[in-house]
Structure formats: C-alpha cells, structure tokens
Amino acid sequence: MADRRYFSDEKKTRSLQLDYKSISFNTKWILSGSNSIIYKESINSTLNIALDKKYQINDARKVVITDNQISGKGTHGKQWISTPYKDLTFSLILGKDNHFGQKLINKCCLVMIHILSLYGIKGKVKYPNDIYVNNKKIVGMLLSNIQTSGSENIIYQALSIGMNVNSIIDIKTIDKEAQVSSTSMFLELKEEVNREELLKLIIESIDPVIQKLTHQ
C-alpha cells in the first residue's frame, strides 16, 4: 500500500487542476462536445462511478475523470497510484450489452503506443493491459463489468485508463509492494505535458476503435 503522506502537498498543487471545461471531444461513439465529461476533483476511484448502475443508465458513453484518485484499481486487485493534479486517471462508461473483451484492451494499447510516439516516447505493450517505457510502467488499463441480478441480467462495462503524465516519482519509492518501477511522460521528456490536450487526443483516438468493435 502506498504511503499517501507523500502527497501531503496536494493543496499546493490544486492550481494545476484539470481545465475540463475547456475540453470538447470530436467523437462519434463516445459522447462529443463539452458535456461528455463527469469531473470529480477527488474520489476513491473513477471506476466505482463508471460501474454504478445510475451512471451506466444515465451517462453511458461519457468519461469520468478525477484529479485525485485515492484508491485506483489495477489488475488482479492491485492498486493504481497516481500523483494528484499531475496524471490522468479516468474511466469510460461503456454501457450495456456491448460485450467488449480483451480485443478492446489490445487495440487501446496500440493506440496508447502511437500516442506516446507522437511525443517522441517509445512504449512497449506488456500483456495483457500495460504500457512500459524502458521496462518501467507508464500506462495501465482495466476493462471491468458488473452484472445485474434477477430478471434483468444486464452486463454493464467500463474501461479505465491510468497514465503517468507529469508525476516526478518512481512508484517503488512510496509503495513497498510495487513489483515494478514506474515512469512518466515528464520523466522521459524532461518537460511538462498539457493534460487537457493529451486527454482529448486519447479519447478521440480510442473512439474509432470502440465504434468499429461495436459494428463487428
């Protein structure tokens, strides 16, 4: 478990709060425009909201994002740790009955590899759902679902992505249970990355992937 005392200066970094109102997606499957983001400044996990039945019914195809994810979810119950106000942690509400599987993750990994390359960063897929740079983790994804009980028997899904953008630490320095080192775009480039522009690029790049899979 990470020692969140490392993030005791969170209030000092609030000036870096994501300017989500300035973001407008040009998408077809994911809701487009400026009202497609559900922003929470600080929450336990974007996935908890994205898998909530109320949000699945009323806000499908929207993006849930936070600046301070306190207890992010990773593969096999592991924790995804991000630096408040510096990284990207978000979940896409996929809605019901699409039955996305590993194929979605595989294609999204390729999308993220391409996006990193646009910034001059060479990433590599570590199956099944991570991206590494020089043997250090920089992106993690998780496809999750819940199934309703009773006569409904509906499956709701959500895709979560965590990306180390402007963080300046190796996660192993604050999490004794971490098995691998981490890096960020900032550590690789030695300069900060505009998170608003990056989020827009990611969403607009993933959108055609989802659109194509829903028509197969």
* CB-based contacts of 73, cutoff 8 Å, min separation 6: 45, 47, 79, 80, 142, 144, 160
* The dihedral sign for the CA sequence 125, 126, 127, 129: negative
Residue-wise pLDDT tens digits, 133-186: 999 999 999 999 998 877 678 899 999 999 999 999 877 666 666 678 899 999
CB atoms under 10 Å from CB of 198, counted, come to: 18
Q: Is residue 80 over pLDDT 90?
A: no
Give the predicted TM-score (pTM) of the model.
Answer: 0.90
Complete DSSP assignment for 34-69: SS-EEEEEEES-HHHHHT-HHHHHHSTT-EEEEEEE
Domains in the chain with CATH codes? 4-214 (3.30.930.10)
Residue-wise pLDDT tens digits, 22-37: 999 999 999 998 889 9
